[in-house]
Homo-oligomer: A and B are copies of this chain.
Amino acid sequence: MPNQSGIDAVGRVFHALADPSRRAIVERLVRGPAAVKELAEPLAMSLPAVMQHLKVLEDAGVIVSEKHGRVRSCRLEPQTLRTAERWLSGQRTEGERQLDQLDDYLKGT
């Protein structure tokens, strides 16, 4: 059995990023926090559908949302994306590692 605690967290992140609308939301939030209304504007879907996508992203820890008065705004939690990136970065074949080493050697590092 795989390590449930660590692996499920990464799995939730990959699941959250499998949807193009959710990736579009992440790409927008990379530029800074935004209100839900602003995030919804470029997406061709209802506000409840957008809220559902935001919930998937928030449950995975990719974003954090806060309510100020009547406005809910969202921001990225960059560390979560870095966790997924590290998993991918670790999946390098021996051939890839050798190419990386050759690349480092040619760069003189």
- Chain A residues near B (Cβ < 8 Å): 1-2, 4, 7-8, 10-12, 14-15, 17-21, 23-24, 26-27, 30-32, 44, 76, 78, 81-82, 84-85, 87-89, 91-96, 109
**How many protomers of this protein does the assembly include?**
2
Q: Nearest residue in B to A24 (C-beta to C-beta)?
A: B2
> Is there contact, CB below 8 Å, between B1 and A23?
no
User: What is the distance, in angstroms, from A30's C-beta to the closest C-beta of chain B?
Assistant: 5
The residue that A14 contacts in the complex, of B17, B32, B93, B95, with Cβ under 8 A, is: B17
- Using known A-B contacts A7-B23, A14-B15, A23-B11, determine if residue A76 contacts B93 with beta carbons closer than 8 Å: yes
8 nearest A-B pairs in the assembled complex, by CB-CB distance: A15-B18, A85-B88, A14-B18, A14-B17, A7-B20, A2-B20, A14-B14, A11-B18
